[in-house]
Amino acid sequence: MGVVAILLLCYVLLLLLDFSYSHPLCSDSRAPFTPNTSLAFCPYNGSVCCDSVEDSLLQKQFKALNVSDIACASVLKSFLCAKCDPFSAELFGVESNLRTVPVLCNSTVSANSTECGDVKNCFCSKVWDSCYNISVTNSPFTPSFQGNNTVSGNSTPSTLTDLWSSKNVFCEAYGGYSDDGLVCFSGEPVSLNDTGTPNPPKGLCIEKIGNGSYLNMVAHPDGSNRVFLSNQQGKIWLATVPEDGSGKTLDLDESAPFLDITDEVYFDTDFGLMGMAFHPDFAQNGRLFVSFNCDKVNSPNCVGRCSCNSNVNCDPSKLGPDNGGQPCQYHSVISEFTANGTISKPSSATRANPSEVRRIFTMGLPFSGHHAGQILFGPDDGYLYFMMGDGGSQGDPYNFSQNKKSLLGKIMRLDIDSIPSAGEITELDLWGNYSIPRDNPSLDDKDMQPEIWALGFRNPWRCSFDSERPSYFLCGDVGEEQYEEVDLVTKGGNYGWRIYEGYALYHPPQSPGGNTSVSSINPIFPITGYNHSDVNKNEGSASISGGYFYRSMSDPCMYGRYLYADLYAGAIWAADEIPENSGNFTSTRVPFSCASNSPIQCDLVTDSSVPALGYIFSFGEDNRKDIFLLASSGVYRVVRPSRCKYTCAKENVTDTGSPSPGLSSSPSSGNRLKALQKQFLFLLSSSLLFIWSFVL
């Protein structure tokens, strides 16, 4: 019994420490959008979670309440319409169950207290005072329906006093406090307190730890200080990352790659090994996945259906000269390999078997560009996300990105752990060996190809999940003529291309594949980005490289900011979200320098002190949450600002120039709390495993 009690106590503590943070999200998991038609019933404008049809349904639901009292009717209408609030997922979601009533703001003092004078903080009291003796049909306040997804249902008219013994009991059930990270409804659209614009960072300090040119970096799933690096030609290496400040470089043997599939990979400017992902259980099963391009002329294994086909109203014979010499000569491929061959512990493997286990996905490409190719496993769901561009050519002439039957210009979400039967493959018209997650958007939109998670991209180049808030899935999407954008990707979201480029309407030069009308979509606009005019002409053309939220303690002044860059210009931006968890971002271009004691001397731009990075292909993140720049000139790590003589008040530096240990180097009290929570959770998890070993 003692062990059981301890386990229960630990479980409760884990629940108490499970702080979650998320961007504005609708209760049906969509991102907020701007409706084509203004809402007639609910008083919401701008970015909302309802369209005109849903607005009309809410009006019918309101009428069905049969409320005669004006004051009570007003508050009931306000919280019915809260379904349209951009924060409706927070307002109606409690432990993943949808409530019939949003979390009503309630004072920290008793609901009956005379101190409850602020209506916004005491909205729950206002609801009670306005409605306690008013008859309501189909009352949403029936206790048995609280917390259920059922549209409430007591067809007999009832009052609050019929259902609840007192205001305090009522507000304990439906009330919630407005606090950091918590959202409650006050009768008006949710508005988070703006803490003001934080001071932009003085600069970003980097050190060079490797000379190789790589396109991808993935932290080893075993949690060690090892990473996988891949180049575009088709090789993957296993490397050990040195300790910050050790003066050492990447420990990597170029002559002994972890995996070499150069014979299968077609390599050119826009082709090659484009992505790699390691199964969440790689340390046990040794499964890894590689995304690359092949040439069907030279490779007998390069066989797949052309993405230009009759299902998407495209004739391959009319693609024109920019198609690799023949229709769909080049393909995008995802293949599975394994490191679980000759050893019993895959996490200690130094080589993977170069023989392909199975072909997950194959699709012929219509043109010679814009096929992205990054793959990622979702940190919460374990599914494989596959980024795919519009296929190339100016202005997406065949409108693939908006065509719901085309996989071009999309982010796909695949279940690679469940292989369908032959009958299921025929039924779903799959492009390979995978299944469709049951909650993909096609469940709600039967016109959509089932693989699609989000659409309307031109060329999503480098996406990442925030390691602290996995619901934040950010992608850099390469622009055409004017704007490079960063998108906050959500289920079923339409990110506008080719109707929009960034925030502006785009006018394609040709449309053999037809057009999509502006009024037919609810576009989700970028959260941040930059105009091509923001990049100097002498810095080259503009092309975004998406990055990561900075979650390392090496630079506490950068903590919580989203870092991204321009591939050609060698420019870096940091985006601040103000207020936190609001989805509102402001970007600042950040100067950067190379540490004087960098393990490898940084080359400098002529007549300047700026490091000459060359092309910034991508970013990487290791298990310590340090951020790396993968550039044509080498591998760079973001280090503490004092090493470049940048001032950061949050960095506690000793006389020796090293940060002193402890919480003083953390970025803020809130983040210090998060750090302590993580440390405690780690210790608690270890203790649970120890105790469980005795239970078993």
* Total number of residues shown for the chain: 696
Are 137 and 256 part of one and the same domain? no
Q: Per the domain annotation, does 311 fall within a domain?
A: yes
Report, as an integer, the average pLDDT of 321-326. 64
Q: What is the pLDDT of residue 258?
A: 97
Flag whether 200 is in a domain: no
Are the beta carbons of 432 and 361 closer than 8 angstroms? Answer: yes
Q: How distant, in Å, are the alpha carbons of 30, 171, 183, 582, 586 from that of 191?
A: 19, 21, 9, 9, 18
425-483 residue pLDDT tens: 555 568 999 999 999 999 889 899 999 999 999 999 999 999 999 999 999 999 999 99
pLDDT tens digit string along 231-262?
A: 999 999 999 999 998 999 999 999 999 999 99
What is the pLDDT averaged over residues 156-179? 85
How much is the average pLDDT of 409-434?
82
Is 400 contained in some domain? yes
Q: Are residues 157 and 297 in the same domain?
A: no
Do 170 and 254 belong to one domain?
A: no
pLDDT(639) > 80: yes
The pLDDT value recorded for residue 682 is: 41
- pLDDT of 128 higher than 60: yes
The stretch 18-45 carries a mean pLDDT of: 76
Question: Domain of 414?
Answer: 217-537
- Domain match, 253 and 336 both: yes
pLDDT in tens, 514-544: 999 999 999 999 999 999 988 866 666 799 9
Asked if 167 and 227 sit in the same domain, the reply is: no
Last-in-domain residue among 537, 564, 581: 537
Percentages helix, strand, coil for the chain (3-state, rounded to 5) are 20, 25, 55
Q: Are residues 284 and 222 in the same domain?
A: yes
Tell me the CATH number at 507.
2.120.10.30
Residues facing residue 577 across a β-bridge: 585
Q: Which pLDDT score, from 0 to 100, does residue 538 have?
A: 64
DSSP per-residue letters across 441-497: GGGT-TTS-TTEEEE--S-EEEEEE-SS-TT-EEEEE--SSSEEEEEE--TT-B--T
In a domain, 450, yes or no: yes
Provide the CA 257 distance to its chain's centre, in angstroms.
30
Identify whether the C-beta of residue 539 lies closer than 8 Å to the C-beta of residue 570. Answer: yes
| C-alpha distances in Å from residue 353, one per residue of 340, 341, 356, 521, 632 | 8, 7, 8, 46, 28
With beta carbons less than 8 A apart as the criterion, state whether 334 and 277 touch.
no
Q: What is the tens place of the pLDDT at every residue in 593-608?
A: 999 999 999 999 988 8
As for how many domains the chain has, the answer is: 2
Four-point Cα dihedral 265, 233, 570, 526, nearest 10: 20
Give 263-304 pLDDT, tens digit per residue. Answer: 999 999 999 999 999 999 999 999 999 999 999 999 999 999
What pLDDT, on the 0 to 100 scale, is given for residue 100?
A: 81
Flag whether pLDDT at 680 surpasses 60: no
Residue 23 lies in a domain: no
Both 370 and 503 in a single domain?
Answer: yes
Query: Is 472 within the bounds of a domain?
Result: yes
**Range 8-20 average pLDDT:** 42
Q: Are residues 323 and 457 in the same domain?
A: yes
Which secondary structure element, helix H or strand E, spans residue 426, and what is its range?
helix 422-428
Q: Which two tokens stand for residue 402?
A: 């908006």
Task: Write the CA distances from 467 to 182, 204, 276, 460, 546, integer angstroms.
Answer: 20, 21, 18, 20, 15
Question: In which band, very low, low, confident or very high, does the pLDDT at 677 lie, cut at 50, 70 and 90?
Answer: very low
> What is residue 352's predicted lDDT score, i.e. its pLDDT?
95
The verdict on 139 and 250 lying in the same domain is no
pTM over cut 0.75: yes
Number of H helices, E strands in the chain: 10, 31
- Residue 440 lies inside a defined structural domain of this protein: yes
CB neighbours of 111 closer than 8 A, spacing ≥ 6? Answer: 122, 124, 125, 128, 167, 168, 170, 171, 175
Co-location of 251 and 103 in the same domain = no
Residue 487 · residue 474 · CB < 8 Å: yes
pLDDT digits (tens, 9 = 90+) for 68-121: 898 899 889 998 999 999 889 888 875 456 788 898 888 754 444 445 555 567
% of the chain at pLDDT higher than 70: 81
CA distances from 294 to 366, 387, 454, 485 (A): 13, 17, 25, 29
Sign of the CA dihedral 663, 669, 671, 677? positive
Beta carbons within 10 angstroms of residue 428's beta carbon: 16
Average confidence (pLDDT) over 397-414: 97
> Mean of the pLDDT values across residues 644-649?
93
- Measured CA distances, 297 to 264, 303, 444 (Å): 12, 10, 40
From first CA to last CA, the distance across the chain in angstroms is 14
The answer to whether residues 385 and 440 belong to one domain is yes
What's the average model confidence in pLDDT over 663-671? 39
Torsion of CA 546, 550, 551, 554, to 10 degrees: 140
- Domain's final residue, options 145, 176, 207: 176
Regarding whether 379 and 296 lie in a shared domain, the answer is yes
With 50 as the cut, is the pLDDT of residue 148 above it? Answer: no
For 631-646, what is the mean pLDDT? 97
* Unique residue bearing structure tokens 């439906």: 174
Binned at pLDDT 50, 70 and 90, residue 156 comes out as: confident
Quick one: tokens of 221?
Answer: 């799933």
Contacts of 125 (CB under 8 A, 6+ apart): 106, 107, 111, 116, 167, 171
Structure tokens at 126: 């206002």
Which residues are bridge partners to 240 per DSSP? 226, 251
pLDDT of residue 286: 95
| pLDDT at residue 320, rounded to an integer | 67
For residue 18, what pLDDT is reported?
A: 41
> pLDDT tens-digit profile of 385-394?
999 999 999 9
Look up residue 596 and give its two tokens. Answer: 């004087």
Mean pLDDT in the chain?
Answer: 85
Residue 409's pLDDT is what? 98
Examine residue 325 and state whether it is found in any structural domain, yes or no.
Answer: yes
Q: What is the pLDDT of residue 109?
A: 46
* Domain C-terminal end among 505, 537, 569: 537
Instruction: List C-alpha distances in Å: 628 to 242, 423, 633.
Output: 13, 45, 13
Range name among 189-198, 355-364, 629-638 with the lowest pLDDT average: 189-198
